Amino acid sequence: MTTPALDVRVDGHVAEVTLTRPELFNRFDDELHVEFTAVLESLRRDEKVRAVVLASTGSVFSAGGDFDLMRAAQADVATRLRIVDDGRRLLDALISLPQPLVVAMQGPAIGLGATVVLTADAIVAARGATIADPHVVLGLVAGDGGCLVWPQAVGMLRARRHLLTGDPVDAETAHAMGLITDLVDAPDDVLPAAQALAARIAALPPLAVQGTKRALNRVTQLRAGEVVELSLAHEETSLASRDLLEAIDAFTERRPGIYQGH
């Protein structure tokens, strides 16, 4: 029996979406891509929901992409196109959500996991958590939103520094940089703090809140129009590269990679 990728609950005016596969480090494989996008699109149409909490289970918020899916994409153009289309739909659903999104980040958010986190309106993180986009370390272009959300969060120069190295940022540094809005001491404190913040937002006049959110979304959507299609096209190219396979092998074998740019 397959473990569900998501759990969705609505309590009053707050929806809580939880990633529920800690044994897979809540990775964004085909299943989670599709299910999460469908949930976001459903919540977008739910007029009684005034705020959304996104949480996770286990010690890792999300480890990002799925190596098996990447390997399959390397050899098959249809798989590459599907991955790119799924990424486009997910990002569009996130940056079109009219309700404020509060993330409860109890552990590391990596790659696409970091992108999802950085589309939020508030991010509550534990001090021991980290955030990183190591697409380049795996031979991939940060095409599924990294080139959009990191510059918006911390400015272009810092975004370049971390997207071009894949270096992680610890939660305290991320808070100082503006990548994280709220810092708490322990992983167990993260979800209650995020729930309390979402409840505060949900208690405010909804037309004012959602009108403000839609206007802010427009800013992000305009920036997305400048960069997302180009970055996705470059990511699709990198999904077909030999360097991708070498990077995955090097990572799993814990050795330096040898890259040819092919």
Which pLDDT tens digits describe the chain residue by residue (262 residues)? 457 899 999 999 999 999 999 999 999 998 999 999 999 999 999 999 999 999 999 999 999 988 888 888 888 888 889 989 999 999 999 999 999 999 999 999 999 999 999 999 999 999 999 999 999 999 999 999 999 999 999 999 999 999 999 999 999 999 999 999 999 999 999 999 999 999 999 999 999 999 999 999 999 999 999 999 999 999 999 999 999 999 999 999 999 999 998 8
Angstrom distance (rounded) from CA 179 to CA 193 = 17
Predicted pLDDT at 131: 98
Angstrom distance (rounded) from CA 197 to CA 223 = 27
- Phi, psi dihedrals of residue 89, rounded to the nearest 5°: -65, -40
Angstrom distance (rounded) from CA 151 to CA 33 = 23
List the structure tokens of 247.
């990077």
Angstrom distance (rounded) from CA 123 to CA 159 = 18
Predicted pLDDT at 65: 85
Angstrom distance (rounded) from CA 111 to CA 144 = 9
Longest dimension (CA), the chain: 56
List the structure tokens of 172.
């305290």
Report the half-sphere exposure of 4 (CA within 13 A, side-chain side): 10
* Domain annotation for the chain: domains and CATH numbers: 1-187+202-262 (3.90.226.10)
Angstrom distance (rounded) from CA 230 to CA 233 = 5
Predicted pLDDT at 66: 85
Q: What is the pTM of this model?
A: 0.95
Residues 6+ apart with CB under 8 A from 230: none
Predicted pLDDT at 2: 59
CA distances (Å), 217 to each of 134, 153, 172, in order? 26, 14, 27
Residues 6+ apart with CB under 8 A from 94: 40, 101, 116, 119, 145
Q: Write out 13-40 in H/E/C secondary structure.
A: CEEEEEECCHHHCCCECHHHHHHHHHHH
